[in-house]
Amino acid sequence: MCFHKKIVTFLFLFGVLVFKHAVYAQNKALIDSLRQEANVLAYSNPELAVERGLELFSLSKNKPSQQVSALLTVANAYAVLKDHDKVLKYALKADSIADKNRNYTDQVRALGFIGGQYQRLKLSNRALEYLDRAYTISVKHPLPDSIQYLQGNILFVKGLIQRDNLGCEYALPYFTEAAQVFRENLDKKLMNSSMAIALNNIGDCNFQLEKYDVAKKNYNEAIIFASKINALKNSAYSKLGLAKILSEEEKNQLAIQTLQEALLSVENINDAGLKTALYKALSDNYAAIGNNEKYNAYTKLYFEEEEKLLNEEKNSINQVANNLAAENLDKRENQKNTYTYIFIICGILLLVVLEYILRKILQKRKKIAQQKQEIENTSKNNHN
């Protein structure tokens, strides 16, 4: 009977362990699936990527690194949607978690991402501040081979800053080196998007430097990488670049066809910046072939989208400026409090020192008075 009980107990415990392992494996599989899906969706369906990222965050309690990944995925999706306020909200939260848990890899990921976001807002000094912090950490605490691509992210954003400040001649080496890092990490599906973005920017620089054949090769290669993860925006941007080259070659009809394909692919995507560029290019090409009706129609769309873009950028910059102002105010208040504490402590120390000196003076005077009295007493005794 006792042996039978032991068998039953053993089977029960074994069943519980198997069940727990199955649940754990199922949760892990769900989390891995959500992570991969959210990362890819960021470029093809950013709204859904936000949902998946937040779901992943809620499933990652007590797992800080997974929480950081989820928050950066959400921030990246909002970057695609051009909602800069929410980009910084989730990215800064990710940085806070990484910093609190002293996870250097996650810190590099978060800081590099935030640096990239500030660069998109044309706040170069702020961007470099975060990028330099990320680079310093990556040097002190080398990244694992599995995430060496983060060095590519830092190089790429520095390339964007160099282009804004000094021009394409200075930016191209950074873009090229970043692309090489991404190419070495193509075992990760998301690197296809990074490759497409890097190649599009390399293409833009080669176009600006009038190296049209090289630029055409860059854009076509970018389309190949973008198509692997259905990154519609990246492909549309590549086609915009190809259309510009066709316009330079006076192949305006073919340029219009390419632009229409690009516009159709992103009609359900909210990206005022890309659509503004597409409408402007269509307007210019219709003007070149003398189609005034189409020229006027796309010029009108261009101005409408341009106004929307300016409003978005203005709101984003105002929000970021307000956040920075609040941050600076907090720093000043903290500084003020620090100075107040220092002043109080110095005051107390000064009083203590003065009291000590005063006591010493009084003791010395008392001693002198005693010695004086002794001398007087001695003098009187001698006279007697």
**Residue of 311, 329, 303 lying closest to 84 (CA atoms):** 311
pTM of this prediction exceeds 0.75: no
**Residue of 214, 147, 231 lying closest to 185 (CA atoms):** 147
Please tell me the distance from the alpha carbon of residue 290 to that of residue 282, in angstroms, as a whole number.
12
Q: Does residue 116 contact residue 108 with C-beta atoms inside 8 Å?
A: no
Domains and CATH numbers, the chain: 16-101 (1.25.40), 118-185 (no CATH)
For residues 290, 291, 292, 295, the Cα torsion angle rounded to the nearest 10 degrees is -110
b vs e for 29-45, b when ≥16 Cβ sit within 10 Å of the residue's Cβ?
eebeebbebbbbbbbbb
pLDDT by residue for the chain (384 residues), tens only, comes to 444 444 445 444 444 443 344 333 344 444 555 555 666 677 778 888 899 999 989 988 888 999 999 999 999 999 888 888 899 999 999 999 999 998 999 999 999 999 999 988 888 889 989 999 998 998 888 888 777 888 898 999 999 999 999 999 999 999 999 999 999 999 888 899 999 999 999 999 999 999 999 999 999 999 999 999 999 999 999 999 999 999 999 999 999 999 999 999 998 888 888 999 999 999 999 999 999 999 999 999 999 888 877 776 655 555 554 555 455 555 445 555 554 555 566 566 556 555 655 665 566 556 555 554 554 554 455 455
Neighbours of 339 (CB within 10 A): 10
Helix (H, G, I), strand (E, B) or coil at 83: coil
Please tell me the distance from the alpha carbon of residue 184 to that of residue 105, in angstroms, as a whole number.
19
Please tell me the distance from the alpha carbon of residue 78 to that of residue 111, in angstroms, as a whole number.
17
